[in-house]
Chains A and B, each alone.
Chain A
Amino acid sequence: MTVQPLNSYRSGPDERGHFGMFGGRFVAETLMPVILEVEKAYAAAKDDPAFQAEMDGYLAHYVGRPSPLYYAERLTERLREGAGGKGAKIYLKREELNHTGSHKVNNVLGQILLARRMGKKRIIAETGAGQHGVATATLCARFGLECVIYMGAVDVERQKPNVFRMQMLGATVVPVQSGSRTLKDAMNEALRDWVTNVATTYYCIGTVAGPHPYPGMVRDFQAVIGKETREQILAAEGRLPDSLVACIGGGSNAMGLFYPFLDDKDVEIYGVEAAGHGLASGQHAASLTGGRPGVLHGNRTYLLMDDDGQIAEAHSISAGLDYPGIGPEHAFLHETGRVTYISATDKEALEAFMLLSKLEGIIPALEPAHALAKVVELAPQKPQDHIMVVNLSGRGDKDVPQVADILGGQF
């Protein structure tokens, strides 16, 4: 076993899947054997150079990696206006240019290759915005695997383009009618499917949450984002960035960007949760800011809930952030203070969505629009030699009908 330095933020999870007090394996007995099987298979794959080589090949030639690190010149200039000589230099990590249009594909590729090694022929997944569903449907098509996607009925309505994409790729999309009919209920339903079809089925979880080994495994697959960013910024600027900003629902794009920088003490790290109609309204999805530790979906983490421990319904304009929990490693990084967690409202995200579209010719997804909304606040407070990297985790094509509807065609 590798001994990690005690002062490292990168040593989790431990062998029981804990990041500090968070994480764990809170699942029904029916699933425990398969979860142990996934853990074993992943441990073997991680140490197998052939697995890494296979990953690298598909990442380069199928996903289109590395994704560019782009200097957003006009956004930088705009945010320097009226900033009194201040204003950070803003780079965008262009995950929206990946095949399928978001960072989700990085993780799905890893898990699908793992499922193939495990001999599983049927893949299930939950999806909120549909980005993880599309990525899963895509790789199932590529490898000839059966694919069933669970999606809350509310999300099926607001993310129609992605539903059609998944169906065109050959996946079965099951609208989930139970509970709040959003991402958390899709996850419940996927778990119910897995319990029922455990012998044949692999559950491809879309974020850094769920029972061990998922949070750490998904982070590892997404860490390619941060590794590339490190190399790219060193090449472009000759030094590490001063700050990182990413949006957080479950938190996989954020963990992917943050993880390789966690032990670089001088790099400020900001995670942006969805504040919905505002934290005071009670209608939001900011688990760290508005929640407390609890147990759901296989792990202990911060959750939105009432005093009886009943899970609350989250709210966000972004279906991908509309989840009452957060990955356990974020809960750990929050409690240790290594990452600063802030939040952006629906309205702020919409404004940032339009701002980036008009200034840079990049229509972002509503999820990273939350990160951009906080960049709009943070960048003018930083000196001009401050380098800020924002994870542009997905593109906004899927959100075009919803945003057009909200803005009534007035762009």
Chain B
Amino acid sequence: MSRIDRRFAACRAEGRAALVTFVTAGDPDADTSLAILKALPRAGADLIEIGMPFTDPMADGPAIQLSSQRALKGGQTLKKTLDMVRALRAGEADTPVILMGYYNPIYIYGVERFLKDAREAGVDGLIVVDLPPEEDDELCVPALKAGLSFIRLATPTTDDARLPAVLANTSGFVYYVSITGITGSATPDFGAVAQSVARIKAHTNLPVVVGFGVKTGEHAAAIARGADGVVVGSALVEAVRASLDGEGRATAGTLAAVEALVGELAAGVRSAAKATAA
């Protein structure tokens, strides 16, 4: 059983959905970023997604675009991101870590070398936005062979005919994109999302996690009623941005701002569990 499987099983045992938090590696600087990562589990995050910054994040809205730019400006590289996972792993044995990003930096790092280094650093899974099932030979199949989960995005445009192809090599969990759109944009229609989650669950036993457009504890609670997990990213990197000083540097309030929002989201996820139980 992988770390990801164990964590979803534990949340299920508590009768609630998992909270998956996304932050960008190296945002706003390496030290603060590592401090944020270390704080996430104790603030209530069940799984950690770490964004690998890229110059051209085509599926991301302004919040994550800006966080990537801050990280790159601070000198973040894929190697430094892997080092950061290793540093996090040293004190955090159980929380699954998933790297999320775009293919080019991995391709340039070298697929085999990347998979080996990621596994050794303590990475559990990968989400690579611009690798659909049609390109599985590139990274998905080698990642599965290397013992890493490859988590696929399913979207509102993924119909029943296509869903089996999307699920075929997916492992760990399925990430359902709640809207047709970029990260951090529209607020999803929660009723429609619940129906879609049910539709995907009819095709797979994997946990189904929902992301894109989830900003508050209330949103998280609404999603958590039907899904196995909720992903929040843009709202967290936006909290980072809002805490910076005039020169874009971290302040005493940066870590606290992220912790406070994660706490609110964790409470939202847990309140949904109570609502279901009641």
Contacts and interface: CB of A to CB of B under 8 A. Distances in A.
B58 A28 contact: yes
Nearest to B181: A196
Nearest to A294: B104
A178 B131 CA distance: 23
A305 B166 CA distance: 30
B132 A32 contact: yes
B105 to A, nearest CB: 4
B104 A27 contact: no
A192 B166 contact: no
B173 interface: no
A34 interface: yes
Contacts of B234: none
Interface string B27-68: 000000000000000000000000000111111011001000
A195 B110 CA distance: 29
B155 A30 contact: yes
B181 A295 contact: no
A135 to B, nearest CB: 24
Given A30-B155, A30-B177, A308 B105 contact: yes
B180 A29 contact: no
A192 B181 CA distance: 7
A294 B130 CA distance: 13
B103 A26 contact: yes
Contact of B59 (A25, A192, A197, A307): A192
A404 B154 CA distance: 52
Contacts of B55: 179, 310-311
Given A29-B155, A192-B59, A296-B56, A305 B104 contact: yes
Interface residues of A, number: 36
B91 to A, nearest CB: 27
Contacts of A191: 58-59
B185 interface: yes
B180 A296 contact: no
B162 interface: yes
B132 A27 contact: yes
B77 interface: yes
A308 B72 CA distance: 10
A211 B113 CA distance: 26
A25 B56 CA distance: 16
Contacts of A117: none
Given A24-B135, A192-B182, A309 B105 contact: yes
B108 A294 contact: yes
B244 interface: no
16 contacts: A24-B135, A26-B103, A30-B59, A30-B153, A34-B157, A178-B62, A192-B59, A195-B59, A199-B157, A295-B130, A297-B58, A308-B79, A308-B108, A309-B104, A309-B106, A310-B72
Given A308-B108, A309-B54, 5 more contacts: A29-B177, A32-B132, A195-B58, A296-B56, A311-B55
